[in-house]
Amino acid sequence: SVPGAHCAGRLPPSLQMVSIPAGVFTMGTDDPQIKQDGEAPARRVTVDAFYMDAYEVSNADFERFVNATGYLTEAEKFGDSFVFEGLLSEQVKAGIQQAVAAAPWWLPVKGASWRHPEGPDSTVLHRPDHPVLHVSWNDAVAYCAWAGKRLPTEAEWEYSCRGGLHDRLFPWGNKLQPRGQHYANLWQGEFPVTDTGEDGFRGTAPVDAFPPNGYGLYNIVGNAWEWTADWWAVRHSAEEALNPKGPPSGKDRVKKGGSYMCHKSYCYRYRCAARSQNTPDSSASNLGFRCAADHLPITS
Ligand SMILES: *[C@@H]1O[C@H](CO)[C@@H](O)[C@H](O)[C@H]1NC(C)=O
Ligand SMILES: [Cu+2]
């Protein structure tokens, strides 16, 4: 943990960005672990220097935004959001029928939102320093704009994730648990039945938990999925690219990093090259974001 990262004494979010140097890196991989996600091919990508939030946007950060603007998230407008059933109370679970056929552990919960991540009977009061959840891509864009920032492109996100290392699986290297240590908030145990919490957490962790990567970024994989600016596509040109921004249009937006729900058995997506997608109005109990910027925002 670093000074200023904790709830009470947290610096304004704009002061918690890290400088990411310009450079060339290998985006994607020629050894895809989940082929249908379009992890391949590996391609040489050049990225200009930029700034990246050191942490995922927290509940306290998002509350500051909502207090200042009166912003209403899409989950609040729609009146529901998807919650992982393992986090729900029996009362909330009992009232729900509909489910996602391919992923029955996702339940649409009435009244679930960033303030009530597990439904109306839950709050974020005791976890201001956890990542904000149930925020759509549109909500994330609105927050970043308010903060004088923007969402990172997928290329910027992946370059940041790699932390200066070349062609490694994880932000810290190729071993999931070097010297037996946990480096991210993931799922341990049999998904979706038992998360043993061996890494210290069931559900989300504070945004400053676990060691940072080589660029000083915390929880860049695991904890909460992170929205990026790009539209989703699974076919990529192997050609070299400069500051790529993804396809010009699409149906889904790219999310990166995996979440506390990811286990190698069904969601081996806590690798830098891994990727997934959702429609821009989607929200869920494992999906958040962090912002990027070309210049450090001016703070008052
Ligand atoms: C948001 O406003 C409420 C009500 O005025 C206040 O209690 C809370 O501390 C504010 N939150 C932040 C993060 O500034
Ligand atoms: Cu704290």
The predicted-structure confidence for 234-280, as pLDDT tens digits, reads as follows 999 999 999 999 999 999 999 999 999 999 999 999 999 999 999 99
- Pick the residue whose CA is nearest to atom 13 on ligand 1: 64
Residue 221 within any structural domain of the chain: yes
Question: Which residue has better confidence, 30 or 99?
Answer: 30
Give 55-72 pLDDT, tens digit per residue: 999 999 999 999 999 999
Ligand 1 binding pocket includes 63 (Cβ within 6 Å): yes
Pairing of strands 43-47, 241-242: parallel
Q: Would you say the C-alpha torsion 279, 281, 287, 292 has a positive or negative sign?
A: positive
The answer to whether residue 112 sits within a structural domain is yes
Distance CA 297, CA 168 (A): 31
For residue 4, the model assigns a pLDDT of 38
Comparing C-alpha atoms, which of 240, 272, 250 is closest to residue 47? 240
Position 5 scores a pLDDT of 41
Q: Is residue 5 part of a domain?
A: no
Which residue range is the domain that position 207 belongs to? 13-293
One-letter amino acid of 111: G
Domain-embedded: residue 300: no
User: Given pLDDT bands bounded at 50, 70 and 90, which one contains residue 230?
Assistant: very high
In the predicted model, is pLDDT for residue 6 greater than 50? Answer: no
Q: Is the pLDDT of residue 173 over 70?
A: yes
**Residues 274 and 256 sit within 8 Å (Cβ to Cβ):** yes
Q: Which of 67, 114, 124 to mutate to test the pocket of ligand 1 (most atoms within 8 A of CB)?
A: 67
- Tell me the β-bridge partners of 82: 108, 284
User: Does residue 4 lie in a domain region?
Assistant: no
Of the chain, the end-to-end C-alpha distance in Å amounts to: 26
| Ligand 1 proximity of 252 Cβ (cutoff 6 Å) | no
Number of the ligand closest to the Cα of 13: 1
Among all chains, which residue has been given the structure tokens 């938990």?
209
| pLDDT at position 3 over 50 | no
Report the alpha-carbon distance of residue 111 to residue 119 in Å, rounded. 5
Q: Does residue 2 lie in a domain region?
A: no
236 belongs to a structural domain: yes
Q: What is the pLDDT of residue 13?
A: 62
- Any ligand 1 atom below 6 A from CB of 60: yes
Q: How far is the CA of 62 from the centre of ligand 1 (A)?
A: 11
Which CATH number belongs to the domain containing residue 114 in this structure? 3.90.1580.10
CA of 224 to the centre of ligand 1 (A): 24
Average pLDDT over residues 74-99: 89
At residue 93, the pLDDT reads: 86
Mean pLDDT over the full length of the chain: 93
pLDDT band at 12 (very low <50, low <70, confident <90, very high): low
- Between CA 133 and CA 135 the distance in angstroms is 5
Q: Kindly tell me if the per-residue pLDDT of 15 is higher than 90.
A: no
Q: What's the CA-to-centroid distance between 63 and ligand 1, angstroms?
A: 7
Half-sphere exposure of 75 (CA within 13 A, CB side): 31
pLDDT digits (tens, 9 = 90+) for 110-138: 999 999 999 999 999 999 999 999 999 99
Which one has a higher pLDDT value, 10 or 149? 149
8 has a pLDDT exceeding 70: no
Check whether 87 has a pLDDT greater than 80: yes
In whole angstroms, give the CA distance from residue 162 to residue 178: 16
Tell how far the Cα of 290 is from the centroid of ligand 2, in angstroms. Answer: 18
- Which pLDDT score is estimated for 95? 82
What is the total count of domains within the chain? Answer: 1
Tell how far the Cα of 241 is from the centroid of ligand 2, in angstroms: 40
Q: What is the pLDDT of residue 98?
A: 65
- The mean per-residue pLDDT over the stretch 215-228 comes to 98
Please, what is the Cα angle at 66 between 289 and 228, to 5 degrees?
20
- Cα of 78 vs centre of ligand 1, distance in Å, is 24
Atom of ligand 1 nearest to the CA of 66: 1
How many angstroms is it from 204 CA to the middle of ligand 2? 13
7 lines ligand 1 (CB under 6 A): no
pLDDT of 10 reads: 55
Q: H-type helices in the chain, by residue range?
A: 59-69, 74-78, 90-94, 137-146, 154-162
| % of the chain surpassing 70 pLDDT | 94
Specify the residue with its C-alpha closest to ligand 1, atom 5.
67
Ligand 1 atom with the shortest distance to the CA of 67: 1
Using CB atoms within 10 A of its CB, is residue 165 exposed (0-12), middle (13-18) or buried (19+)?
middle
pLDDT higher than 50, residue 7: no
**CB of 70 shorter than 6 A to ligand 1:** no
The minimum-distance atom of ligand 1 relative to the CA of 63 is: 13
In whole angstroms, what is the distance from residue 252 CA to residue 230 CA?
Answer: 9
- 78-107 as b/e: b if 16+ CB within 10 A: eebbbbbbbbbeeebeeebeeeeeeeebbb
Query: From edge to edge, which strands make up the β-sheet containing 241-242?
Result: 23-27, 43-47, 241-242
The token pair that represents 242 in the structure block: 């400069």
Tokens of 142: 């609105």
Is residue 299, in this structure, part of any structural domain at all? no
**Whose CA is closest to 203, among 218, 220, 188, 182?**
188
Q: What is the pTM of this model?
A: 0.94
